[in-house]
Amino acid sequence: MGIAGASSDSQGFATRSGLPGECFDALIEAAVYDPNPSFNRVFVESALNAFGRRRVQLALLDYLRTGTDQERAGSARAWYWSALPLRLLHLSAEMPANAEETAEAIWHESALREFIRNEHVDVRRCILPGLPLFPKAYPPELHTLIDTAVAIARSHPDEYIRHRVEIQIHH
CA gap 77, 81 in Å, rounded: 8
User: Is the backbone of residue 36 left (phi > 0), alpha (psi -120 to 50) or beta?
Assistant: beta
Of the pLDDT bands very low, low, confident and very high (cuts 50, 70, 90), residue 18 is low
The pLDDT score that the predictor gives to residue 22 is: 85
C-alpha to C-alpha distances, 57 to 87, 99, 159, nearest whole angstrom: 17, 11, 30
pLDDT digits (tens, 9 = 90+) for 48-70: 999 999 999 999 999 999 999 99
The pLDDT score that the predictor gives to residue 1 is: 26
Question: Residue 79's closest CA among 90, 65, 96?
Answer: 65
The residue ranges of every structural domain in the chain are 7-169
Buried b (16+ CB within 10 A) or exposed e, 74-112: bbbbbbbbbeeeeeeebeeebbeeeebeebbeebbbbbb
User: Please, what is the average pLDDT of the chain?
Assistant: 86
pLDDT digits (tens, 9 = 90+) for 80-130: 999 888 775 443 335 555 555 688 999 999 999 999 999 999 999 999 999
Q: Does pLDDT of 31 surpass 70?
A: yes
Q: Does pLDDT of 33 surpass 50?
A: yes
CA gap 66, 109 in Å, rounded: 15
pLDDT digits (tens, 9 = 90+) for 94-104: 555 555 568 89
Q: Where are the alpha helices (DSSP H) in 8-68?
A: 22-33, 41-51, 53-66
Axis-axis angle for helices 99-117, 69-79 (nearest 10): 140
